Structure 1
């Protein structure tokens, strides 16, 4: 059994078909089938039951895949580490961030780039569910997102608490002579909220605050993209509740910003990364900027 065979087997396992796996590996199907048979013969057990009517990974096949992925990941991480020792701080740093957490990233990224100009930076946008998927697939090094998260294999660094505020269209300013608004008054207006594509997040946190006060808000729209919400609020479709950090200076002319009366509530962004995964020097340095 060698590394090449393990890589072949993992690709077959993931593609659930030898033909597709052969295309990805840029090789013909017969040699790939032969490699799988050789692996099974060496181990003395069938790994995948395959005939015209059935394709099923055996228990031994599932276990081999788990172990093989760990071996391949370890080798890839070792390769990266040795390359970094030789080349110094370079390569690619992949960062995931939700739209709501982007403001926390921008204040550090410019400083990081000036300090390490040879590091290429790749940014992925999405909600917490999407970013967790990228982390688990090891497509990104770190992620800035909002709790809660689904998995538990993370190192988590909490950032500053972010209070919620109400944004109303500037053309409705005459409706809000004060700088504060109660949850009860919010229920008088159509409400547009951000909502994750999956799991619990800001949407549920906000609704929970209303329900605690025995109130029912008039939610007329939800979207995972905060820029969509802000654009629609600016047109006069309704009001929204978002973390205060998202009220950038460029939006000030479009909205009336209102603080929430007691009970005020907030969210807490976090920086997370995989605990059991090799962190590049660039990723470690970025994490230090947040601490």
Structure 2
């Protein structure tokens, strides 16, 4: 098993079909299928079920994919660091962020960074805080924007801002709607909430405020996908409680954003990286912009 085989396997998983993976890798399908079979034979385990139109990972395949992400990311980072000794600031900087707050902070800094260092390219991955920390731990990305708190023993951080959480409801046409709403009034309709992720406090923060307001809401849906919640609001299926930056992701005449009165629903945001990790020169310079 070598790095090349792991990259082939990752492409197959990410594309969902061997034919699409072959096109992505600029190679014919039969040699790629052979590489997958050789990898399975070497490991003595079936990695992918092939009896459906779209491939399905086995339990062993899931385990290998997670390891492959970490191994390939580490090899790519090592190769880049070695090249930097001779070539200066160039290569690819991998970063990550949640959708809403990332769109606020990252694009202008990428534009400014590109002017100063035109030889540096970017890989920008999105996900919730739990996913961003997971990518940092696997060294798939070097720096990421997250919602606090996180483990200070594992990560360095630069605080960016504290933003409020807001209510998003379906706009009632022809009716004037308030700029703010209290939790008891909001909870008269089904709520759409962010899903709880391991080690993340935002879900608990919302529930603490609901309990403090003596509210027992009906929760129609929880999701780690903000756009999914906003789509449900747009269909009139409930009211979402989400960060303000996330609420602005979907400009729509059918959505109404309100402050939540009488409580302190807010979360701090920081840019973070692994404590003790030697960052690439590009990552170090990028952090100087925050």
CA deviation after TM superposition for structure 1 residue 147, in Å: 2.1
Deviations 1:80-116 (A, max 9, x none): 4442132121111111212243233233222223332
Match of 1:99 in 2: 99
Given the alignment of the two structures, is residue 110 of structure 1 paired with residue 131 of structure 2, yes or no? no
Task: Give ranges in structure 2 of 5+ residues lacking alignment.
Answer: 7-37, 44-73
C-alpha separation in 1, matches of 2:165 and 2:282: 33
Q: Is the 8 A contact 1:166 1:241 kept in 2?
A: yes
C-alpha separation in 1, matches of 2:182 and 2:124: 37
Match of 1:62 in 2: none
Task: Give ranges in structure 1 of 5+ residues lacking alignment.
Answer: 1-6, 12-22, 30-72
| 4+ runs deviating over 4 angstroms | 75-79
C-alpha separation in 2, matches of 1:111 and 1:248: 23
Given the alignment of the two structures, is residue 141 of structure 1 paired with residue 142 of structure 2, yes or no? yes
Secondary structure in structure 1 of the residue aligned to 2:94? strand
Give the 5 Å matches for 1:36-185: 80-103=80-103, 104-149=105-150, 152-171=153-172, 174=175, 177-185=177-185
C-alpha separation in 2, matches of 1:218 and 1:241: 13
Deviates more, 1:155-164 or 1:256-265: 256-265
Match of 1:15 in 2: none
C-alpha separation in 1, matches of 2:202 and 2:210: 13
Q: Is the 8 A contact 1:91 1:119 kept in 2?
A: yes
Q: Is the 8 A contact 2:195 2:222 kept in 1?
A: yes
Secondary structure in structure 1 of the residue aligned to 2:118? coil
Q: Tell me the C-alpha RMSD between the 2 structures.
A: 3.2
Secondary structure in structure 2 of the residue aligned to 1:242? strand
Match of 2:186 in 1: 186
C-alpha separation in 2, matches of 1:258 and 1:203: 19
Give the 5 Å matches for 1:208-223: 208-223=208-223
How many matched pairs? 228
CA deviation after TM superposition for structure 1 residue 76, in Å: 8.2
Q: Is the 8 A contact 1:99 1:225 kept in 2?
A: no
Please report the TM-score for the alignment, with normalisation by the length of structure 1: 0.68
C-alpha separation in 1, matches of 2:265 and 2:244: 11
Match of 1:50 in 2: none
C-alpha separation in 1, matches of 2:221 and 2:253: 23
CA deviation after TM superposition for structure 1 residue 129, in Å: 2.1
CA deviation after TM superposition for structure 1 residue 273, in Å: 0.3
Q: Is the 8 A contact 1:154 1:275 kept in 2?
A: yes
Match of 1:63 in 2: none
Match of 2:71 in 1: none
C-alpha separation in 1, matches of 2:156 and 2:192: 33
Deviations 1:95-141 (A, max 9, x none): 12122432332332222233322212111222222222221111110
